[in-house]
C-alpha cells in the first residue's frame, strides 16, 4: 500500500481487522504498550526499537501510573469511536472482504 509496495490494496481488510482488534484489546495491554511490547504485526520492531525517541518514550518514569490511567480513558474513547466506525462502514467492509481482484493486473496509481 502506501509504505510497502508488496502489500496490495485488497490486503487492507486484514490490516483493518488487526487495527480493530488492537483497539479492542488496548485497555488490557496499556502497560505493555508503554514498554513498547504491544505493537501491530506490520510494524518493523527492530527499526522501532533502535529509535532514540522510542527509547525515551518507553523508559520507566515516575508518572507511569498516571499515564496508564490516561491511556485507559483514551482506550474507552477509541473503543466507542471504533464501534461507530465499524457500524457506519459495514457495507464497505463487506465489499472489501469479498472483492475479487487480479493482483497481477490491478495497480492503483
Please provide the DSSP assignment of 50-99 as one string: T-HHHHHHHS--TTHHHHHHHHHHHHHHHHHHHHHHHHHTHHHHHHHHH-
Write the pLDDT tens digit of every residue in 11-42: 777 887 888 888 888 878 888 888 888 888 88
Assigned domain for 35 exists: yes
Assigned domain for 83 exists: yes
Assigned domain for 53 exists: yes
Assigned domain for 84 exists: yes
Write the pLDDT tens digit of every residue in 48-85: 889 999 998 888 889 888 888 888 888 788 778 777 77
Q: Which residue has the cell 457506519?
A: 88
The domain containing residue 25 runs over which residues? 16-98
Q: What's the domain count of the chain?
A: 1
Assigned domain for 109 exists: no
All cell numbers assigned to 18: 488487526
pTM score, two decimals?
0.59
Write phi, then psi, for 106 (nearest 5 degrees): -100, 120
Residue, of 104 and 25, whose pLDDT is higher: 25
| pLDDT on residue 104 | 47
Amino acid at each position: 500500500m502506501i509504505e510497502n509496495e508488496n502489500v496490495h490494496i485488497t490486503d487492507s481488510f486484514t490490516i483493518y481487522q488487526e487495527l480493530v482488534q488492537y483497539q479492542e484489546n488496548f485497555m488490557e495491554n496499556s502497560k505493555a504498550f508503554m514498554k513498547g511490547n504491544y505493537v501491530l504485526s506490520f510494524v518493523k520492531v527492530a527499526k522501532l526499537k533502535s529509535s532514540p525517541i522510542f527509547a525515551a518514550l518507553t523508559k520507566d518514569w515516575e508518572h507511569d501510573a498516571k499515564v496508564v490511567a490516561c491511556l485507559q480513558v483514551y482506550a474507552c474513547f477509541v473503543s466507542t469511536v471504533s464501534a461507530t466506525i465499524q457500524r457506519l462502514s459495514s457495507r464497505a467492509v463487506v465489499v472489501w472482504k469479498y472483492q475479487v481482484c487480479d493482483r497481477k493486473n490491478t495497480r492503483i496509481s
